Amino acid sequence: MGSNLLPINALERNMKNIPEFSVLPKHVGIIMDGNGRWAKQRNLPRYKGHIEGAKTFRKIGEFAADVGVKCLTFYAFSTENWKRPQEEIDAIMALFRDYLIEAEERSAENEEKGIQLRFLGDRKGIPEDIVAMMNHIESMSSDKSKVVLNIAVNYGGRHEIANAVRKIAEKVRNGEMDICDIDEDTISDLLYTKGLPDPDLIIRPSGECRLSNFLTYQSAYSELWFSDVLWPDFTEDDFLEALREFEKRNRRFGGV
């Protein structure tokens, strides 16, 4: 993915007053957490928090691409989130449906920006009309390479790994692969993120300090940044703060 991703135009950067960084993460994962608590603090139903969170998702996604981040993965809905109240699930799916409709309407703009949209997760259980839109939008943007925007829906890191193991077992059973040939690349090539760099930085707002089954395999060497800000209140300045912190980190990957 790396070599054919184009940097943001320098003049465009200056016009938008975007700061420069000595080091930028190629791939940033974001756990969009705190929507329900944001609503509760305001005596609103939980789904209202997801509406505000969706606005933040659009804002941060566009800003991150302008800054120069080439790959973004947003954790939108986990395999565990089906346990939530049905009203909340329905509201999240409705928001996702609205986003997909908007993405199709903005396809020309996204094409000009070189945005490739991908959806990570198990599509079983997701409403059929939403799955159809996901497939269509992925197909429309599959040849774009300036920015890859992943949305993790019905996603679980352990489920993803188990799914990869099943595929490997099937290949071995069918004689397509020898057990001795299984290595880390074998697993990586069977994950939803095939062809993408592992996340350099994972951001989690809302005060929680855990990954919650997000990019479990891919995050082995990710830098983690946590914030007490609830996702609907997360701003461009918060995102820049995370990038500045990443800039200071010394990533040795097990070396000295």
Residue 88's contacts (CB-CB under 8 Å, 6 or more residues apart) are 36, 46, 47, 50
Residue 106 neighbours by CB distance under 10 Å:
13
147 is a domain residue? yes
CATH of the domain at 131: 3.40.1180.10
187 is a domain residue? no
Stretch 66-92: mean pLDDT, rounded?
96
Please tell me whether residue 62 adopts helix, strand or coil conformation: helix
121 is a domain residue? yes
Annotated active-site residue 33? The verdict is yes
- State if pTM tops 0.75: yes
Residue 12 reports pLDDT greater than 70 = no
Position 110 confidence tier, pLDDT thresholds 50, 70, 90: confident
What residues make up the domain containing 113? 25-155+198-247
4 is a domain residue? no
113 is a domain residue? yes
170 is a domain residue? no
Considering its fold, how many domains does the chain have in total?
A: 1
What pLDDT is stored for residue 116 in this prediction? 95
What pLDDT is stored for residue 145 in this prediction? 84
Q: How far apart are CA 197 and CA 192, in angstroms?
A: 12
18 is a domain residue? no
What pLDDT is stored for residue 108 in this prediction? 86
CB 38 within 8 A of CB 207: no
Annotated active-site residue 66? The verdict is no
66, 81, 122, 213: which one is catalytic? 81
Pick the most confident of 15-19, 62-66, 164-168: 164-168
Burial 205-226 (b: 16+ CB within 10 A, else e): bbeeeebebbbbbbbeebbbbb
91 is a domain residue? yes
What pLDDT is stored for residue 148 in this prediction? 97
Q: What is the gyration radius of the CA atoms in the chain, in angstroms? A: 19
9, 14, 33, 110: which one is catalytic? 33
What pLDDT is stored for residue 5 in this prediction? 40
